[in-house]
Amino acid sequence: MVPCGPDISVHPGKSECQRISDPREDKTPPEELRELKRLNDNYKTMMKSVRQHLRQEGIRLADTSELAMQQVAQEEEEHQQLMEYNRQENLRVAALREERVRKEHEAEITRVEASLVKQAQMAAAAEEEALRLINETQELVKTFIKREDLEQAIEAAMEDPTDYNFALDPDGHVFRGRNTRPEDVPKEEWEKLERAAQI
């Protein structure tokens, strides 16, 4: 049969060697015990006094005390000062915002006016160009041959044909016509090339 519990023949561990088996066997001298009791009583008395002092100080500094009321009044005054500062800051920011909006509005008005002026100039230029084209067309229409004058114009063209051919001699004289020869034109009617170019 195998034992279940610890073996009693084994020596106790090192941590158990210094253990006091019975606290009633304390060898402290009675004088030392009396001194320890006196010190303990003094400690309790002093701690009781300290606690009583702190309790009275807490009552003095309670919410209903004068110091607490002064502190609340000071905090309220500081709060009012901060609220006034906040209100002044809001007014300053609002003024800056209004100034910025006013400048943006003025810039938009200036841009729109410039755009209107540019559009008016473009419209005026287009109208002037249209009038110029109308005038040129009217001048060109004046050169048109009317229906009732068509036969007369054809007869005049057939009687006086225009010849755009010309010849040049080495000296720069112009002789107009396909069949024109220099000897057929008098010398005083000869044209120089410079004069012809100016025409």
Tens of pLDDT, residues 19-32: 655 555 667 788 98
- Whole-number pLDDT of residue 199: 46
Query: What secondary structure, in 3-state letters, does 32-59 show?
Result: HHHHHHHHHHHHHHHHHHHHHHHHHHHH
Instruction: Give residue 124's pLDDT band: very low, low, confident or very high (50, 70, 90).
Output: very high
Is 53 part of a structural domain of the chain? Answer: no
Determine the Cα–Cα distance for residues 84 and 90; give it in Å rounded to an integer.
10
Is 171 part of a structural domain of the chain? Answer: yes
Determine the Cα–Cα distance for residues 42 and 44; give it in Å rounded to an integer.
5
Is 133 part of a structural domain of the chain? Answer: no
- Whole-number pLDDT of residue 6: 55
Determine the Cα–Cα distance for residues 167 and 176; give it in Å rounded to an integer.
6
Structural domain that includes position 181: 147-198
Instruction: Give residue 11's pLDDT band: very low, low, confident or very high (50, 70, 90).
Output: low
Tens of pLDDT, residues 144-166: 888 888 888 888 877 776 767 77
Is 5 part of a structural domain of the chain? Answer: no
Q: What percent of the chain has pLDDT over 90?
A: 42
Q: By C-alpha distance, which of 145, 197, 152 is closest to 172?
A: 197
Instruction: Give residue 191's pLDDT band: very low, low, confident or very high (50, 70, 90).
Output: confident
Number of domains, the chain: 1
| pLDDT mean over 115-141 | 92
Q: What angle do CA 77, 83, 84 make, to 5 degrees?
A: 90
Is 155 part of a structural domain of the chain? Answer: yes
Instruction: Give residue 118's pLDDT band: very low, low, confident or very high (50, 70, 90).
Output: very high
Is 163 part of a structural domain of the chain? Answer: yes
Tens of pLDDT, residues 35-46: 999 999 999 999
- Whole-number pLDDT of residue 169: 77
Tens of pLDDT, residues 176-186: 766 666 667 77
Is 158 part of a structural domain of the chain? Answer: yes
Is 125 part of a structural domain of the chain? Answer: no
Determine the Cα–Cα distance for residues 120 and 127; give it in Å rounded to an integer.
10
Name the average pLDDT for the chain.
81
Residue 168 has pLDDT above 80, yes or no: no
pTM metric for this prediction: 0.35
| pLDDT mean over 88-109 | 96
